Structure 1
Amino acid sequence: MTSAREQTAAPSAGEAGGGSEGGEGGETADTARIPAFPMARAAGCPFDPPPGLRDRRAVAPLTRVRLWDGSTPWLVTRHAEQRALLADPRVSADVTRAGYPKTVPSNGGGLSFINKDDPEHARLRRMITAAFTVRRVEALRPAVRRIVDGLVDELLAGPRPVDLVPAFALPVPSLVICELLGVPYADHPFFQENSRILISRTVTPDDRTAALGRLTHYLRELVARKRVEPGDDLLSGLVGRTEVGELTVEEAAEMGVLLLIAGHETTANMIALGTVLLLQHPDQLAAVRDTEEPELIASAVEELLRYLNITHSGLRRLALADIEIAGQVIRAGDGIVLPNDIGNRDPDAFPDPDRLDVARNPRRHVAFGFGVHQCLGQPLARMELQVVYGTLYRRIPTLRLATGVDRLAFKHDGSVYGVHELPVTW
């Protein structure tokens, strides 16, 4: 299901070379000729990167693209250059800097420390790192197994067909992150709805700001309650840091919002989208379903993360100094867009990259980013996906779609890719 469009015309100076138009904003006759980003996926190929990204990679490792505001940041399409730039200290993740290539119009900054630079980024990140170490996450595996088995029990006892998104894909990570943070799961309709607004590409800046305000207010009140009645959870630990002056209440609330959103949205979409993909590849599904080897399940998780890579708006950065790379010079102040979906399909990094192979174990993928800003929660996400993929298809071996894949509504309108609904039966 991959487009064969691999060739394009030679780049113009504005596309592959020029430097003056990057990050200025406002469309001109010159910038109008530069390809727009994000790019559309090919019809009938919902699991593949947009063919336009392959076209850009055929032109050069670095070319220009045009964003919603008319700015023309660099597009980086090869795996090696993506990792090099993501690890480069001359590259900033601070969304408040002039020229930063924003995903959508916004009225303010980003979410907590992920949109800050060191040393502030490192200071805040260190406060929660311990909760996401491999050792701490492995200690949670039995609890996650109980959650997954309980939800599968409910599926088997319930009606068919069923929408797997609200019945399974969303509850698994939501229950886990609520337990970890100390957030009442009963409030999940509230935070899931506001999360949906925040990650939508189509809502207005005012709607996005209002959703963020509601979530921040909710977490601020929860932090205040935990001052009086602390628990054995991550938010209570952050409250302790506010009491000794290491963290403000607002910073604690912002970190809570970030962890709550990231802790359920991305994993939920990977559960659903990975299931759709495996159902389209019966041989790969059988390998996952029938194995008793944890190593193969772990490998399958890495391959699905590489192949699907649901953060399909690209990672965004800003150059703080001139950077020479791949025959180009990224000037200080230039925006940089790094679509990790096309990086994960780079044949120089992954042989035969458009073939799904659950035994591949491609641990060098960039689905979680790279460098100091790589995803803090990746050990938790990996473990949850291992439990899900190792349980769901084994316990429901005849699981199948209750509709055609061509009738599924994919999330082309969000910054996190997935399916809105997933009707299945068995």
Structure 2
Amino acid sequence: MTVSTAIARLNAADPDFARHLDHLLSWESVSDDAVNQRVLDIIKGVRERGDAALVEFTQRFDGVVANSIDDLILGRERLELALTRITPVQREALEKAANRVRMYHERQKQDSWQYTEADGTVLGQKVTPLDRAGLYVPGGKASYPSSVLMNAIPAKVAGVAEVVMVVPTPRGEVNELVLAAACIAGVDRVFTVGGAQAVAALAYGTESVPQVDKIVGPGNIYVATAKRHVFGQVGIDMIAGPSEILVVCDGQTDPDWIAMDLFSQAEHDEDAQAILVSPDAAFLDRVAASIDKLMPTMERAEIIEKSINGRGALIQVRDMQQAMEVANRIAPEHLELSVADPQAWLPHIRHAGAIFMGRHTSEALGDYCAGPNHVLPTSGTARFSSPLGVYDFQKRSSIIFCSEQGASELGHTASVLARGESLTAHARSAEYRILTQEKGN
């Protein structure tokens, strides 16, 4: 296989650097009119015809032979069977990863709290898990058992009573690793449906698929478009863009390591983005040479080549301080601080989905088994978003209990503000609770 790499080279000192960087980073998850209309038609079909529509769409789009919805349901015993069909080494890896993910997310659990004021008024917050969560898992060749762990385990740690998984099985192709991961993660029900029809079923429910409170998990453009349309009916995790990695290196890490770290994201798909930032121009040259050397050895070389050439970059900066500024400007999904003292630079990072500290911490470890969640904000949304976690499967309700004295005192304040907004019923509702002796003062 012949591949040619021509990764972009940028220099932060150039007058047009900001414009070139913005162009490099630009990516829109845009559904064209045809995709949008098709998704709307599918959602309408599922809402109107339920299970029958699911069976029809699964036959049409996935090439699955199904006579009824029963043919698209996998029971718990089928998930347990998958555990016996994978190799012992695979099972051990899944269980070890699951334990680490569970242990990390246990620390995220929030507890309810209350406090009592001097007059007896009680204020607080009640934390409650969602009743039911839906997990979308890609099927066929693009199967990711690690995503099952990362999505299902935080839901279970949060206390979600039921986790429902949907996973397409194109042409009947079942991924045993995915089913084994579902078993280990504690998934309660599995339906072998995918696409917009699966999202619609989770959002609105059918005769067999229960309606969920939130849908999480990655998918193609039809899944992403469907998630946009059902948001509000249910919660969603995010509309994820292509995977991305930003490596900040001081020039002292093995260039082969850095090249492979860039490849680790580029191999996802042609739109994935891999960027290296360093103040050492000679190091950037060495990494470029490593890219050329290692590219032909990769199984997914053609995908990596398109990703690296289309959206990748080697960026030279003045110094490490400017490297931090560029990193915050990019707000990457994955950020590797491949430097001598990453802890010293950590306070300078304001925007990143996950931060991998030091030369030995490859992003790939976070994808599978380090413990933190690999569902991360993409396309610069780390400026305002966080990794998926236990908190995504919990709700917070405010608690307000006013004593007689407290209601009377707060009533004065509420009355003034309500009348200032010309909301007389609000004011009088509060004033009714003001103690008689206070009304007369």
Query: Shorter-chain TM-score: what band?
Result: under 0.3
Structure with the larger strand share = 2
Considering only CA atoms, is the larger Rg found in Structure 1 or Structure 2? 2
TM-score (norm 1): 0.26
